[in-house]
Structure 1
Amino acid sequence: METMKNPLLSAVRFVVLTLFLAIAANQSFAQAPTQGNSKISGIVLDSAAAKGVEFASIALFNVADNKAIDGTTADETGKFAISKVAPGSYKLMISFIGYQDKAVNVKVEKGKDVELGSIQLASSVQNLQEVTITGEKSLIEEKVDRMVFNAEKDITSKGGDASDLLRKVPMLSVDLDGNVSLRGSSNIKVLINNKPSTIIAANVADALKQIPADMIKSVEVITSPSAKYDAEGSGGIINIITKKNNLQGLTLNIDSGVGNRGSNLGLNGSYRKGKMGFTLGGFGRAFYNKATSVLDQTTYSGNNSFLTNQSSTAKDRGLFGQYSLGWDYDLGKNQALSAGLRYGTRNFLQKQDLTINQYENSILNNSSLRKVDRKDLSGTVDFNIDYIRTFKPQQEWSISTLYSRTGLTNNFNTDILNESGAVDSKLKNENKNQNSELTLQTDYQTPLGKNQLLEFGAKGIFRTVDSDFKYLTAGESGNFVLSSTNPSGVLNYKQNVAAGYFSYTLSTKNKYTFKLGTRYEYTGITADMGDNKPIDIPAYGNLVPSINVSKALSGSTTLKAAYNRRIQRPGIQQLNPNVNLSNPQSISTGNPALSPELTDNFELGLSTNIKKTYINASVFARQTNNSITQVRMAVDTLQGAIVTTYENIGKQRAYGANIFANVYLTPKWTLNGSVDILHSYLEGQTTGLDGTSVGISNSGFNYGGRLMSQISLRNGWGLQAFGFYRGKEIQLQGTRTGFYMYSLGFKKDIANKKGSIGFGAENFLTKGVRFTSDLTSPQFVQTGTTQLYNRNFKITFSYSIGKMSFNAPKKKTKSVNNTDVVGGGGQQN
């Protein structure tokens, strides 16, 4: 009998056997001997609880050559049977996570069945303290179409949010506002547990602030999505997987933290009894920050120049929350049903003192002080019901539904003061948005032989965006009336997407894996800006092919190559025509007439292990036509003012490289980091001094990287240090300087690892981060500098209450996966 005392090795053995059985079950084994008429049967029991170990893995090996020839899984009671066994000597290997493996020798005689009776597995849970993780892929996993970053060991994430964690993920870059880019492209899709949400579509940066970093299990970066994923997201897809619990029993986890720049509190509970499970979670995060900024802006009109000098001090306060209720039920051995309800809220408040001095031909002609109160509020409800039916390993059919609705409020109130400091007038902008979408999706997959997989499906998305905006003014009395000069209006925008896809995967004997597919999406749009103001946006159809190839060269070395075509539809914030006049010299508005962009992506990557070092290197190139980007121009009717909007500028090309390495200096000390190099070229149109269109272009390199080290010490102590740098960003009309961030944290496990306490510090050697933006065009020159005072110290505490017992993982249902608007994205598993 062969016994494995290390539960980690047991888990590895279990995964290998499960993958083997998924391919082998209900199939003929290529190496199987001549089939006979005998049957081997028995029942697998827990040696301590005297109950069946459901879904245990059973593999049958030929003793002569020790090759696996057949296998199966136990049913809900632990019973199993292997039929059509030829006479001979065999070894039966029985394995399941949490138990020691067990081998049973079996001799089969011609025409006779073998009844083994009860086979008892001993628990290996008591040996967990002996586990030492040394595998290089505990941090990074490579798959044919994605890279997986396992985030569970991050110490400094306690008390932070998802944007803090994403800064540590290879190939991703996160700016100070929380905006995420993948290999230099911000046109990406973000999913949470494979599910989209209108809260993501509205604003990625704000949505990430609602997700606590210490609840994230892994981050999947899909640089070359296959045909089964929505064609949207020219830069790629990011899927954030949060921690889940499939164990039996009742638990309650408490996570909290307090710091000088932010505090958080999270409560997550789960209950599972038999075939039914419930989860209930709540997370709230409050932050408070201070920033100062200076802006010098010169515009030209004829022979005159207008200089605007602005300085501001802002105090930001935010309260972000996310609450969820989940339910799942096993209808039977091969069927599962799940449902979920999630509510997310964002409450961002900013108080800003803004001083504006205006000069005409170097002579001061106007000075004003404004006190601006900005409110950015939202509430999102997501509801999903999902069903999956498994016919045999890898053959399954699923139906997924999702309904999302978000209410957005983006308002500001401005007090305009005179030279004596008294309120001279007031300006108010009310901007309410409603965004809803209904998604219906069905998918089917089936194996073709032992090494092929066929997938196809269909999907419909029915999306509605409504915006109602208006301006009001008031004198000293404070009685607001509708403004006669500033814009008011509505936007009614409906978008329906119908899609179908086909995908084929082939694994060959010489260790090639091919994943080929194509997807067709048809998009119909109707839009208007109120009575008799239709917006002509034609319908369009897109065929988007994808090719992913990987080759296992030797040992743990894998080479990957990929090509895919992606489309990028404009998002809500880019479409909203509301004109933001909180700063009259720096105005912003959306463009409801935007068209989608189309991108071709090419990628080549290599991953390998060299002793105790894991290395992943990749090169990539992409070309985007009809690219959506920010464009700035002077305002004819307001001297010295610049308006920022979105346009389809023309071409955008990028190529670059990324290298990531993780090394185990000792079994308990790891060091990892990455370097990113990107070259961008942008080509588009702007407005010249005479009002005509002028062609412009800009290009340059961007460098970035990150470095992280973590040490596990005795008695439950742990230490982690992290540093991040993002270089100069190339924009169509200029550049934005880079910035860096760093952090140091430690934690101490308490109460037999049921809880922990910790301390973290961020940017503790300086006051914060400073960056500069330089923009130019024939109409203006603009330089802006911002100082963010984000030096932070925090104390964290977490504790788990409850008792769990291990049981078999239940069937997982598939879920809707919308990845087709700017600011969202993800995948299905």
Structure 2
Amino acid sequence: MTKRFLLFILTLGLCLTEIQTTYAQFGPPGGGPGGPGGFGGQDNRRKKEFTGVAEETPKGNGKIAGILVDSTSGKPVEFATVALINVKTNKPIDGTTSDAKGHFALTKLAPGDYRLQYSFIGYKNLDSKPFTVSKGTDLNLGSVKIQADVRTLGEVTVTGQAALIEEKVDRLVFNADKDITAKGGDASDVLKRVPMLSVDLDGNVSLRGSQNIRVLINNKPSTIVAANVADALKQLPADMIKSVEVITSPSAKYDAEGAAGIINIVTKKNTLHGLTLNVDAGAGLRASNLGLNGSYRQGKLGLTLGGFGRAMYNRASSTLDQTTLSGTQALRTSQQASAFDKPLFGQYTLGIDYDLAKDQSLSANIRYGTRNFVQQQNQLTSTFAGETLLGMTNRDVDRKDLSNSVDMNLDYVRTFKPQQEWSISTQYSRTGLTNNFYADILGQTGELTGRQRNLNNNTNQEITFQTDYQTPIRKNQLLEFGGKAIMRQVDSHYQYQIGGSTGELVFDPTNPSGALKYNQNIGAGYISYTYVTPSKYTFKVGTRYEHTGITATANENTPLNIPNYSNLVPSVNVSKGLKGGSTLKAAYNRRIQRPGLQQLNPNVNAANPQMIMVGNPNLSPELTDNVELSLSSTIKKTYLNAAVFGRLTNNAISQIRIPADTLTTGFPAGSIITTYQNIGVQRTVGASVFFNTNLTSKWSLNGGLDGYYMYMQGLTPGADGKSVTISNTGVSIGGRLMSQLQLDKGWSAQVFSFFRGPMPQLQGTMGSFYMYSLGVRKDLANKRGSIGLAAENFIGNGVTMRTNLNSPLLSQVNVTHLYNQNIKITFNYRIGKMTFEEPRRKSRSVSNDDVKGEGDGGGQPQAAPAGSRPK
């Protein structure tokens, strides 16, 4: 072979070193010399990596040795490439890799002038100073520190803004640690502060105007989230939230669910040695809470144990004016209602993690959540034909929404080297739901004229198995692939009872008992590839295939003909680092939205007979195509992010509202039934801008505006009994502003405000609403705790929201008033002493992102009856 060809082979060998060590690591850990898990001696290693070259390299008796360590943690860097480069020719002539303890050595070196080049995935290349090897040289370089490269795989950390926001190739991360006014609250209070998100008065979350999202907690799903997103968020204390990740363009690694994207709530994790106990407490006009969280970590074992409870008390009132067309007769209904809510929420967690070996870890978690939502309503309803009063009813209603949920997961992670790992995850999740109401129907003088009772018990169960593998390919590429199986079962049983003036209850013949059994099995596989170019382009492309099989029966033995379906969902994310620290990103993805439990549940919920809710078990999933373009930049002390996006959904799951047919349902004249159908087309385009600036070293200001235009089209019953196509368009604008000020002697203050303009729906417009808060906090000695005071919506008499609905058969105006003024005091304190350790290995876990939650009406939230908006 010619000399030039040999140098080419040598250079190629250096590039392939990392791939070779990757495959070599699949042997038993700690393999002996020459065994499948190791490389043997240094000479043997060099012969494997530079076959055909080492023999041609000039020989001598010089030797160089050292240890490669991480510049931040001081830990050894294993399997890094060490190249010996001739100073005169600037060509590599020899090389090796560091072992499991970071040691490396080059022997039999001929005299000459050389330098060393160190390289490894996740670290910046490092070149040593030139040195001379002479006969008999034995040079020990000691510890060589190499720095992590935060730009690897395109993840960009905004310098100076990491305390608030981080931007990555496929997501935006909002760090919530320093939020004062959310202290003592729950997850919905934190999500109100997050860019691109909106939280309505029900606690339902929207991303860029769509409620078709998936909410995860530490990358894990929960069946309680599938049943009711708003209530699930109330079970998670704000004090335990570290950050919120808004994933507008999920990669193929994530489940294909969530038309608008995924919200991942990351809780605080203990990375300390020792024993500690945290106490978080709060008391206010509308809510009080108490949380206790303990942790113990020593050696290979870590334990966490926590409990949190919150009691709330809310008042609300509403008015309803609607006109319905029944045949040729127009009926007008007027209702005045008031409500008092007394919800209780709690959750208890136990976590265990154990390091089986240096490169293997096992973790297990159990979470138990409970909800006790009790509501008392009073409804005074009058029905008119023209100006003639047809009837008046007065109802006293007791509602009980109760649930208990348990999530258990077991995760195993094997790490081969940085960014190369294999994981196996399992999860069992089960939620029991009870949704009952009990109503007394009173006459005009207050006497009992009738009684009504609805019992609805549901269970939602999931069993998940998942495996994932990722490995670097050379220095600037990452390959990820994996598979997943989900076995989901929904079981709903319901019955109606009625009674007369005696109050004795019997089964209602017009609303017989019923049941729904719904089994859904999902098999999925994905592959994702990330590539970073020398010119700072990052490409993250992938595809995911999901097959869904469904079997369902109604009333125990009536099969429902719901077809199986398969979907291929691609995703493309591209980012480009520009001069001055700016980043340009573009993305495309396709998403699936499967119906959720409440959208499937055929139980007729008539707690308010003027606004009846019933699910549709025959719903099919909807598909959405998303595109996005964004630009972010840091100008002096100000971070700016601007984005435009588009979303197209066919076969959308949409809420429709139709007058009840009293001849077949037995409901009073003027009743409106709200249900779901796959009848919609939705097209949305929008833009958003967000900024964060440090006015001084202790004063920060951040905020943003977002808006979108939506076109909706669907079917609804017409006056002649046939379905007619209706459409609606509208623009919605929202914004937020938050400022934080650090004062002397441990004092700090914060002000926050948010508004959302009217939001278009297929059959009308949902009203605007706003929120604001002011808080101060004082850190205690040694920052072991703090005490704070916050006020929310303290001017005026609460928040009012007006919703308008229109279709060929009905028109409705619903005005809801929530008396949500609040003043609260918060306290937290940490007991115990701990010492820092290296951050724990990030564990893989199950993440089911594929179910549409309650209230996800395709961007068309329903106007709720009075009192249904707990905060």
TM-score by length of 2: 0.84
Deviations 1:428-456 (A, max 9, x none): 11000011010101111111111111111
Aligned equivalent of 1:532: 557
CA shift, 1:41, in A, is 3.8
Q: Contact 2:226/2:853 (CA < 8 Å) preserved in 1? A: yes
What amino acid sits opposite 1:708 in the alignment?
A: M
How far off its partner does 1:61 sit?
Answer: 12
The answer to whether the Cα contact below 8 Å between 2:754 and 2:770 also exists between their aligned partners in 1 is yes
The structural deviation recorded for 1:760 is 0.2
Local SS of the residue matching 1:632: strand
- 1:320 maps to 345
Amino acid at match of 2:223: T
Matched, 1:668 2:698: yes
Structure 1 residues 80 and 106, CA gap change in structure 2 (3 angstroms): farther
Alpha-carbon shift at residue 80 of structure 1 (Å): 3.5
1:201 aligns with 2:230: no
- What corresponds to 2:288 in structure 1? 263
Cα–Cα, structure 1 residues 45 and 425, in superposed 2: closer, same or farther, change >3 Å? Answer: closer
Q: Indicate if the aligned counterparts of 1:261 and 1:288 stay in contact, CA closer than 8 A.
A: yes
Aligned to 2:44: none
Match for residue 455 of structure 1 among 466, 480, 484: 480
* Paired position in structure 1 for 2:628: 603
Distance (whole Å) between structure 2 residues aligned to residue 577 and residue 238 of structure 1: 28
- 1:457·1:500 contact (CA, 8 Å) conserved in 2? yes
Q: In the alignment, is the contact (CA less than 8 A) between 1:190 and 1:823 conserved in 2?
A: no
Distance in 2 (CA, whole Å) between partners of 1:577 and 1:143 is 42
Percent identity of paired positions between Structure 1 and Structure 2: 60
- Give the equivalent residue in structure 1 for 2:155: none
* 2:838 is aligned with 1:808: yes
Per-residue displacement from partner, 1:741-797 (whole Å, max 9, x unpaired)? 100001000021001000000001121100111101111111010100000000000
Residue in structure 1 matched with residue 383 of structure 2 by the alignment: 358
Distance 1:505 1:336 in 2: 26
- Residue 24 of structure 1 contacts residue 450 of structure 1 at CA under 8 Å; is this kept in 2? no
Deviations 1:316-350 (A, max 9, x none): 11111111101111111111111111011111110
* Residue number in structure 2 paired with 1:295: 320
Q: CA deviation at 1:38?
A: 3.8
Moved more, 499-508 or 358-367: 358-367
- Separation (CA, whole Å) in 2 of partners of 1:423 and 1:73: 85
**Residue 707 and residue 449 in structure 1: after superposition, are their counterparts in 2 closer, same or farther (change >3 A)?**
same
Contact 2:66 2:143 in 1 (8 A): no
CA change 1:719–1:301 in 2 (3 A) is same
Matched to 2:264, the amino acid is N
**Cα distance change, pair 270–60 in 1 and its aligned pair in 2 (3 A):** farther
SS of the aligned residue for 2:474 comes to coil
Query: Using the alignment, how far apart are the partners of 2:502 and 2:278 within structure 1?
Result: 52
Q: 1:698 maps to what in 2? A: 728
Displacement after TM superposition at 1:84 (Å) = 3.5
Q: Distance in 2 between matches of 1:377 and 1:369?
A: 26
Match of 1:739 in 2: 769
Question: Distance between the aligned counterparts of 2:19 and 2:768, measured in 1?
Answer: 49
What is the match of residue 332 of structure 1?
357
1:202-351 alignment, distance < 5 Å: 202-351=227-376
Q: 1:282–1:688: structure 2 CA closer, same or farther, 3 Å change rule?
A: same
1:579 maps to which of 591, 596, 604: 604
1:808 Cα deviation from its structure 2 partner: 1.9
* SS state at 2:794 partner: coil
Task: Report how far residue 105 of structure 1 moved.
Answer: 9.4
> Residue 555 of structure 1: CA displacement?
2.8
- The farther-off stretch of 785-794 and 810-819 is 810-819
- Displacement after TM superposition at 1:167 (Å): 1.1
- Whether 1:413 aligns to 2:443 is no
Matches within 5 A, 1:103-182: 109=133, 114-115=139-140, 135-182=160-207
Query: Secondary structure at 1:574's aligned position in 2?
Result: helix
Distance of aligned partners of 1:119 and 1:361 in 2 relative to their CA distance in 1, 3 Å threshold: closer
Paired residues, what number? 774
Counterpart check, 1:773 vs 2:800: no
Structure 1 residues 531 and 326: CA distance shift in structure 2, 3 A:
closer
What residue identity is the alignment partner of 1:672?
A: N
Distance 1:22 1:580 in 2: 61
Structure 1, residues 677-731: CA drift from partner, whole Å, max 9, x if none? 1000100000011111000000010000000000001111000000000011100
Matched with 1:685 is 715
Q: Which amino acid aligns with 1:407?
A: G
Residues 604 and 104 of structure 1, relative CA distance in 2, 3 Å threshold: closer
Contact 2:537/2:576 (CA < 8 Å) preserved in 1? Answer: yes
1:388 paired residue among 383, 391, 413: 413
Counterpart residue number, 1:562: 587
Aligned partner of 1:621 in structure 2 is: 646
Q: 2:104 aligns with which of 74, 82, 85?
A: 82
The root-mean-square deviation of aligned C-alpha atoms, in Å, is 3.2
Whether the 8 Å contact between 1:247 and 1:807 is mirrored in structure 2 is yes
Deviations 1:364-420 (A, max 9, x none): 121111110001111011110111111222221111111101100000110111222
Q: 2:403 aligns with which of 375, 378, 381?
A: 378
Whether the aligned pair in 1 keeps the contact of 2:654 and 2:680 (CA below 8 Å) is no
Aligned-partner residue type, residue 696 of structure 1: I
Residue aligned with 1:555, SS:
helix
**2 CA distance for matches of 1:644 and 1:38?**
80
Shift of 1:184: 0.8
Contact 2:67 2:103 in 1 (8 A): yes
> For residue 41 of structure 2, what is the aligned residue in structure 1?
none
Change (3 A) 1:279 1:91: farther
Tell me the residue number matched to 1:13. none
Q: SS of 1:627's equivalent?
A: strand
Question: Contact 2:595 / 2:853 at 8 angstroms: preserved in 1?
Answer: no
| Counterpart code for 2:555 | G
Cα offset for 1:285? 1.1
Q: How many Å apart are 1:650 and its aligned residue?
A: 2.6
- Counterpart residue identity of residue 699, structure 2: W
Contact 2:259 2:623 (8 Å CA) reproduced: yes
1:157 shift after superposition:
1.0
Q: What is the rounded CA distance, in whole Å, between the counterparts of 1:248 and 1:232 in structure 2?
A: 38
Q: In the alignment, what sits opposite 1:442?
A: 467
Cα distance change on mapping 1:88 and 1:727 into 2, 3 Å? farther
**Equivalent residue of 1:137, what SS?**
coil
The range that moved more, 198-207 or 523-532, is: 523-532
Deviation at 1:476, TM superposition (A): 4.2
Contact 1:773 1:784 survives alignment (8 Å): yes
Report Cα offsets for 1:9-67 as digits up to 9, x if no partner: xxxxxxxxxxxx999997999xxx99998453469899xxxxx96557999999999x9
CA distance in 2, matches of 1:281, 1:349: 25
What secondary structure, in the 3-state scheme, does the structure 1 residue paired with 2:162 have? helix
SS in 1 for 2:224: helix
TM-score, normalised by the number of residues in structure 1 = 0.88
Shift of 1:253: 0.8
Higher deviation after alignment, 475-484 or 668-677: 475-484
Structure 2 CA distance for partners of 1:39 and 1:442, relative to 1, 3 Å: farther
**Uncovered stretches (5+) of structure 1, i.e. residues with no partner:** 1-20, 47-51, 94-102, 121-132
Deviation at 1:108, TM superposition (A): 7.6
Q: Judge conservation of contact 1:735–1:773 (CA < 8 Å) in 2.
A: yes
Partner of 1:588: 613
Q: Distance in 1 between matches of 2:236 and 2:554?
A: 35
Give the secondary structure class of the aligned counterpart of 1:138: coil
Q: What is the identity, as a one-letter code, of the residue corresponding to 2:356? A: L
Equivalent positions of 1:701-712 (< 5 A) are 701-712=731-742
What is the deviation of 1:532?
3.5
**Cα offset, 1:421, TM superposition:** 1.0
Cα distance in structure 2, aligned partners of 1:719 and 1:104? 49
Alpha-carbon distance change, 71 to 636 in structure 1, aligned in 2, over 3 angstroms: farther
Kept after mapping to 1: 8 A contact 2:66/2:144: no
Task: Name structure 2 gaps, 5 residues minimum.
Answer: 1-16, 24-48, 119-126, 146-157, 663-667, 856-871
Counterpart contact for 1:487–1:579, Cα < 8 Å: no
Q: Equivalents in 1 of 2:213, 2:523: separation in Å?
A: 20
Letter in 2 for 1:700: G
Tell me what 1:129 maps to.
none
For the residue of structure 1 that corresponds to 2:178, the secondary structure is: coil
CA distance in 2, matches of 1:824, 1:363: 38
